[in-house]
Amino acid sequence: MSDLAMRTALSQIERALVDAIAFAYKVRRPVAANIAAMASVPSKPLADQDLQFVTSEGVTFKFVKLSTATPDGVNTVIPNDVPATAGGRWLRTTSTVQSGYLRAVQLYDGGENDEEILNRIIAQRPAVLVKWVASESRDLSVERGALYGYRADFEAWCISYNLRPQAQAILGSDVAVEALADPGANQIVGDVRATVAGSDLGQAGVSYCSPTKERKLVDDLGQRTFVYSLGISVFATIHQPDTDLITPTTPGAFQVQQQLTAAGGSSVPFGPVDQVPPQ
């Protein structure tokens, strides 16, 4: 397993965690028959991180609004109406999921109150917000500062909304079509838990994830909004990249120190010819 670089480990893990949840349960745009059909979709209405399943490829693509990656028509696709030098690319993912129900999956750095939470997601519900809580490191190598075991703790805030009475925002609507759109806070927590448990998030350097504490964050009966929190610990290894590596000019060669000999086989003292000072 590879290790994550110290400077970028947290950012890489955050992105991978958000992607893992989104690829599993986020709403997709209407299915495209093939890559050409996806490329023909007008780019202006597309939002950053939009997902679209492509039938011919059997996988989901993610739209990254600022990406200027070189298009190859397979893993990186540029919309037909985007100039070659402008941002906007469809990037292939490994997700084979064709549809989802979460309207938003994103990082969050705000407070624990329903007004701020709903403002942040622009009332797109159901949703999952990923919030970093804390991280810690422990030495794994004899050389100080070289290699560490790394644990990053997050909370996934699972948001459900249901105008029906009793506990249907928690348990999901009794109306089947409504339950498909929002299965309730309990089910969202369960889906996220099942997605991350034991997962390496598809990120080199991550060993596995472990779901931890669950708690009720917001219980707003007036607005029929419920927010439950699921703790997630991500275990990884991080290292300090070497910056003074030297590449051998002849790797694998057998290096010897030459010594001059006089006529008859007697040795000659080391001198400047072979760069070793005389003894």
268 within some domain: no
Confidence (pLDDT) at 271: 54
Predicted confidence (pLDDT) per residue in 103-143, tens digit:
999 998 777 665 666 666 656 789 999 999 999 999 988 77
> CATH number of the domain that 234 lies in?
3.30.2000.10
121 plus 198 within the same structural domain:
yes
Residue 278 has pLDDT above 90, yes or no: no
Q: In which band, very low, low, confident or very high, does the pLDDT at 166 lie, cut at 50, 70 and 90?
A: low
119 plus 201 within the same structural domain:
yes
Confidence (pLDDT) at 112: 64
Residue 144 has pLDDT above 60, yes or no: yes
Environment class of 264 (CB within 10 Å of its CB; exposed 0-12, middle 13-18, buried 19+): exposed
Confidence (pLDDT) at 223: 59
155 plus 227 within the same structural domain:
yes
Q: In which band, very low, low, confident or very high, does the pLDDT at 257 lie, cut at 50, 70 and 90?
A: low
What is the DSSP pairing of strand 89-92 with strand 76-77? Answer: antiparallel
Neighbours of 131 (CB within 10 A): 16
**Which of 65, 82, 98 is the C-terminal boundary of a domain?**
98
Which structure tokens are listed for 18? Answer: 């958000």
267 within some domain: no
Q: Domain of residue 67: give its range.
A: 28-98
249 within some domain: no
pTM assigned to the model:
0.80
